[in-house]
């Protein structure tokens, strides 16, 4: 398995481009099940999770090819309505095939996703939403077995705002008979991107980007092309790297991003003392003289994203004082904390609250990745630590960051990938 070897102490400056959004691609790709034909998804990031989704769709008969960052998907032949455990256990987002399969074919057998590093990841909202649309759903042998004649529009209110459940129900409803209303729908930009893509395929959806969606079912859709939105979490992660170890006499500029998708993060970085210049498709950051301790509470969009919580803790670990990080989306998403403590961070966690007391220095160590965003926080801390940090099992990072080591190295970081050893 690969590891990253990070030499701390380097100062970052220069320009880097953001890649396409992982969590948009993982929703757009299964949407191609909704109509036969050829689709082109531009600016699709080169990631393990995208490869996993490609392999799943190929087992269902779709033909997928990649030319640089353009994915061509031909869904003319669909030979299976099943998402087997082997795929779903690798990536929870595999469940996104459920909605389109039930919506178009009235049939789906999708393995229940396991938990993940930080706890259970239920799918009750997905199931309840599809049942309201008229699907018969049995949970049997670790699978969600769904059957339906033709789905019928319904009024659905999600008890909890759920990105995945909103995506699945939206993809099921676009071919249902009649109107579906979804309240408390997720508003994340990746779900808005899915809604726009479905509309470009002929779907009738009002309220895209809001938490109130009205979907008028149609009899058929058609293939389309789209340009995947930039990855707001990758952009935020690179911004925090710059705030932590940027050259104070220079700046880091992130291009091809969508600043409005991470205004909660940029605002908090300004509170920390960084100076940001925000353009239409770029953000330039000058690091703070010293890092002010700033509390955050994760929230649904457009609040502070839970996927930036681990990275924020890394930043606060070198702040001039104490800060409180409250995680409201997941219970127990703090697997990164014990590893950060090994680098010298002073963090205590009680219930869903992490208290971080800033320290003057971190020291490099061997640390273990546990999940995607936790790994990113370890890299960030390693950049700021004195000496060498080895981040093990970076396959977690490869799931959601396209060549992050090359992007950081292009800004001046000393980070390299080592392969081969069993860590």
Shortest distance, CB of residue 357 to ligand EPZ, whole angstroms? Answer: 26
Count CB neighbours of 76 within 10 A: 12
Q: Which is nearer to ligand EPZ, 57 or 291 (CB)?
A: 57
Q: What is the set of active-site residues?
A: 116
For the chain, how are helix, strand and coil distributed in percent, rounded to 5?
A: 35, 25, 40
The DSSP secondary structure of 50-97, one letter per residue, reads: HHHHHHHHHHTT-EEEEETTEEEEE-S-----EE-HHHHTT-GGGGGG
Asked if 372 touches ligand EPZ (CB under 6 A), the answer is yes
Give, as ranges, the residues between 292 and 311 that touch ligand EPZ (CB under 6 A): 306-307
Q: Segment 311-330, which members bind ligand EPZ (CB under 6 A)? A: 329-330
Under the binding rule (CB under 6 A), the answer on residue 377 touching ligand EPZ is no
Least separation, in Å, of the C-beta of 378 and ligand EPZ?
Answer: 14
Contact between 229 and ligand EPZ per CB under 6 A: no
**With respect to ligand EPZ, which residue has the nearer C-beta, 82 or 327?**
327
| Element holding 149 (H helix, E strand) | none
SS3 12: strand
Closest to 250 measured CA to CA, from 222, 277, 229: 277
Residue 23 binds ligand EPZ, judged by CB under 6 A: yes
Strand partners, 17: 255
Q: How far is Cα 407 from Cα 403, in angstroms, rounded to an integer?
A: 6
Shortest separation between residue 138's beta carbon and ligand EPZ, angstroms: 17
Tokens 């099921």 belong to residue: 172
Q: Which residue's C-beta sits nearest to ligand EPZ?
A: 164
Instruction: Using CB atoms within 10 Å of the CB of residue 138, give its burial: 0 to 12 exposed, 13 to 18 middle, 19+ buried.
Output: exposed
Q: Are 379 and 408 in contact (CB under 8 A)?
A: yes
* 3-class DSSP assignment, residue 233: helix
By the rule CB under 6 A, 368 interacts with ligand EPZ: no
Considering the complex, state which of residue 123 and residue 242 has its C-beta at the smaller distance from ligand EPZ: 123
Stretch that binds ligand EPZ, among 146-154, 162-170, 281-289, 408-416 (CB under 6 A): 162-170
Instruction: Indicate whether 165 belongs to the interface with ligand EPZ (CB under 6 A).
Output: yes
Site for ligand EPZ in 64-123 (CB under 6 A): 92-93, 121-123
CA angle 219, 217, 200 (to 5 degrees): 80
Please state the closest distance from residue 93 (CB atom) to ligand EPZ, in A.
Answer: 4
The stretch near ligand EPZ (CB under 6 A) out of 4-12, 158-166, 314-322, 340-348 is 158-166
- Does residue number 139 form part of the binding site for ligand EPZ (CB under 6 A)? no
Q: Does 163 interact with ligand EPZ (rule: CB under 6 A)?
A: yes
Nearest approach, Cβ of residue 177 and ligand EPZ (Å): 24
Quickly list H helices, 106-231: 124-132, 163-173, 189-200
What are the helix and strand counts (H, E) for the chain?
A: 14, 24
Count of residues in contact with ligand EPZ, rule CB under 6 A: 25
Shortest separation between residue 34's beta carbon and ligand EPZ, angstroms: 18
Q: Using CB under 6 A, list all residues that contact ligand EPZ.
A: 22-23, 26, 92-93, 121-126, 160, 162-165, 186, 190, 306-307, 329-330, 372-373, 400
């Amino acid at each position: 398995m690969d590891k990253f070897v990070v030499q701390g102490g380097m100062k970052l400056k220069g320009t880097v481009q953001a890649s396409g959004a992982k969590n948009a691609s993982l929703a757009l790709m299964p949407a191609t099940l909704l109509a036969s034909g050829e689709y082109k998804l531009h600016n699709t990031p080169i990631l393990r999770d995208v490869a996993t989704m490609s392999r799943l769709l190929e087992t269902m008969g779709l033909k997928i090819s990649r030319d640089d960052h353009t994915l061509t998907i031909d869904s003319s032949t669909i030979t299976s309505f099943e998402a087997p455990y082997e795929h779903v256990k690798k990536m929870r987002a595999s469940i996104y095939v459920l909605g389109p399969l039930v919506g178009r074919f009235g049939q789906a057998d999708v393995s229940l996703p396991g938990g993940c590093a930080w706890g259970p990841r239920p799918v009750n909202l997905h199931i309840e939403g599809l049942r309201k649309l008229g699907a018969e759903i049995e949970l049997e042998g670790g699978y969600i077995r769904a059957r339906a004649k033709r789905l019928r529009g319904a009024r659905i209110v999600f008890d909890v705002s759920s990105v995945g459940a909103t995506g699945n129900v939206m993809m099921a409803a676009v071919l249902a008979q009649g109107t579906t209303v979804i309240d408390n729908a997720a508003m994340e930009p990746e779900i808005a991107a899915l809604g726009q893509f479905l509309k470009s395929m002929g779907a009738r959806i009002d309220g895209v980007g809001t938490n109130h969606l009205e979907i008028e079912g149609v009899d058929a859709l058609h293939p389309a092309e789209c340009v995947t939105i930039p990855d707001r979490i990758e952009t935020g992660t690179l911004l925090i790297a710059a705030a932590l170890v940027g050259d104070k006499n220079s700046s880091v500029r992130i291009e091809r991003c969508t600043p409005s998708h991470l205004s909660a993060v940029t605002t908090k970085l300004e509170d920390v003392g960084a100076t940001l210049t925000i353009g239409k498709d770029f953000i330039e950051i000058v690091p703070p003289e010293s890092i002010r301790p700033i509390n955050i509470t994760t929230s649904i969009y457009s609040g502070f994203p839970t996927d930036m919580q681990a990275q924020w803790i890394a930043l606060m670990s070198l702040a001039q004082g104490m800060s409180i990080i409250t995680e409201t989306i997941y219970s127990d998403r703090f697997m990164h904390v014990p590893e950060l403590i090994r680098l010298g961070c002073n963090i205590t966690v009680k219930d869903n609250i992490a208290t971080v007391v800033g320290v003057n220095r971190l020291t490099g160590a061997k640390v273990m990745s546990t999940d995607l965003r936790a790994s990113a926080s370890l890299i960030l801390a390693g950049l700021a630590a004195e000496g060498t940090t080895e981040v093990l099992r970076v396959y977690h990072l490869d799931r959601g960051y396209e060549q992050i080591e090359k992007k950081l190295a292009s800004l001046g970081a000393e980070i390299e990938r080592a392969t081969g050893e069993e860590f």
